[in-house]
Amino acid sequence: MGRLVVVSNRTANLTKKTQAGGLTVGIVDALKSQDGLWMGWDGRISEDISAPKQEKYDNVTTLTTSLTPEEHEKYYLGFSNKVLWPAFHYRLDLMDYRTEFADCYASVNERFAATLAPQLKQDDVIWVHDYHMIPMAAKLRQKGCGNKIGFFLHIPFPSIDVFSAVPRHEWLRSCLLQYDLIGFQTVNDVQNFHRYLKEHSDADIISPELVRVDGRTIHIGHFPIGIDVKQFAQTSSKPDDTVELERIRRKMLKRFQIISADRLDYSKGLPHRIKAFRKFLDLYPEYQGHAEYLQIASPSREDVTAYGDIKSELEQLAGAVNGKFADFNWAPIQYINRSIARSKLAPLFKSSLIGLITPLRDGMNLVAKEYVAAQDDADPGILILSKFAGAAEELSEALIVNPYDINDVAQAIQKAATMPLAERQLRHRKLLKRVTEHDAQWWQREYLDALLGKTERPQLIHQFTKHSPIHLTT
């Protein structure tokens, strides 16, 4: 294999690895071992897009370009985040489609491809990421690129009815079928794509993982993304005075902490979660004065109206719970509307008895894996996880809940709060094993090996459906 060339909407800051999430860690490691090139948007909005910028960090080169104000509005905020993001997260009600959004989405992909194509060498392997860049392979192929090109979708691939409601879905499908490997997070995503192809394409479908179109073979697979487990566990064990002080305070007052951390996004189910916590305090009043819920929500895509709406809804809901239950020395909800450094986030996860991760839809959800990695083996906390997070396919020893069912989530909080240590330890052991086996490095190796045809993965589709239930005696 020659170089690895990664294309994604944004590139990461390669000088700050310790602040990076699993996605960056996985990609950077792959790039470093392969003399890589990473192309994407530099995060700036400017009328001057004439000269893409090249920078080199060790053996990795970044190739970045700005977006014009129009591209930012129509490609990024528009088609990517007002059409594809809501639709792929089953929120057709929030989809705001305009023809000019789709046209601009196609033309930005065209511009990225035109910038990249002259830089490509014959044996480069290209790995394209996420919903912003679906047409990239098609655009590169039009320029004569015969290289291996893989695509990985970080968000869910929705069910057939939902995907076929996206305007120009046939075009998106034909773009996807220009890749050599289409990677999804979960078996469920692979199955959704398979059903869609069966109904809406004349591709020759050999199996859910193998399709032939116009003499080309396309591989399809699921590659659940992981985190850098060792690094996150180490960070969680570094002493942090303020977190430790809080932990001691809670211990003295016989209190425990429930924690959630998300981007402030309607797909993450934050209002439902606050309602569930309120229900928990109503159903189990003995926890009033003892349960503390810390919600850390980092601002995200604030230029899109739906994101502003969720912010005010959340503030109102949290305020109402505190208004009803708070006492002079206890507030049930602490709501932080900003990003927190990983050096703080990891010990906070470790000091929380419950990780409450209940998205309404999520491609994977790395916070769930980070919460598991941060726990103390001797006295681990309990993960409550939405059945609609991709991570639920792997993490079946969490307490799996339906985030729409407020009672279900409230009861799971009660179950976690009273769970015996032995059961917490057993569940944690199993979860940690899986999170460790499928870490960020595993993810990028599995994907690239499949793209290069080094592995046959015929049985994978069944891999995550076989976990045995918890037996406390084992």
Question: Residues 6 or more apart from 177 whose CB is under 8 A from it?
Answer: 201, 203, 211, 213, 216, 218
Residue type for position 173 = R
CB of 384 to ligand ADQ, least distance (A): 15
Residue span 58-97 as binding mask against ligand ADQ, x where in contact by CB under 6 A, dash where not? ----------------------------------------
The CA-atom distances, in angstroms, between 158 and each of 116, 438, 469 are 30, 24, 28
Nearest to 111 by CA among 149, 84, 87, 140: 140
Structure tokens belonging to residue 232: 């996150």
Q: Site residues for ligand ADQ, window 283-312 (CB under 6 A)?
A: 296-298
Q: Which two tokens stand for residue 343?
A: 């050096």
Does the annotation count 362 as an active-site position? yes
Can you tell me which of 125, 318, 356, 367 binds ligand ADQ, judged by CB under 6 A? 367
> d(Cα 131, Cα 154) in Å, to the nearest integer?
8
Catalytic annotation, pick one of 240, 362, 408, 439: 362
Cβ atoms of 249 and 379 closer than 8 Å: no
- Shortest Cβ 212–ligand ADQ spacing (Å): 28
Binders of ligand ADQ: how many residues, by CB under 6 A?
21
- Taking CB under 6 A as the binding criterion, the range among 41-49, 112-120, 132-140, 363-371 that sits at the site for ligand ADQ is 363-371
Find the shortest distance in angstroms from Cβ 369 to ligand ADQ: 8
By the rule CB under 6 A, 13 interacts with ligand ADQ: no
Q: Is 225 a residue that touches ligand ADQ (CB under 6 A)? A: yes
Q: Is 123 a catalytic residue?
A: no
Cα 378 from Cα 416, distance rounded (Å): 16
Range list of H helices, 331-397: 342-350, 366-374
Contact of 256 with 290, CB cutoff 8 Å? yes
Backbone angles phi, psi at 290, to 5 degrees: -120, -30
Q: Which is nearer to ligand ADQ, 246 or 362 (CB)?
A: 362
Asked if 363 is part of the footprint of ligand ADQ (rule: CB under 6 A), the reply reads: yes
CB 18 → ligand ADQ: shortest distance, Å? 12
* Interface region with ligand ADQ, contact rule CB under 6 A, candidates 111-119, 207-215, 357-365, 401-409: 357-365
- In the sheet that holds 256-263, the strands lie side by side as 333-336, 291-298, 256-263, 354-357, 382-386, 399-401
- Least distance (Å) between residue 209 CB and ligand ADQ: 20
Q: Is 92 left (phi over 0), alpha (psi -120 to 50) or beta?
A: alpha
Q: Does 345 bind ligand ADQ (CB under 6 A)?
A: yes
Window 253 to 272, contacts with ligand ADQ (CB under 6 A): 261-263
Please, which residue, 39 or 366, has the CB nearer to ligand ADQ?
Answer: 366
The Cα 136–Cα 88 span in angstroms is 19
- 370 contributes a contact to ligand ADQ by CB under 6 A: yes
Instruction: Find the shortest distance in angstroms from Cβ 231 to ligand ADQ.
Output: 11
User: Where does this chain bind ligand ADQ (CB under 6 A)?
Assistant: 21, 23, 154-155, 225, 261-263, 296-298, 339-340, 345, 362-367, 370
Positions marked active-site: 154, 362
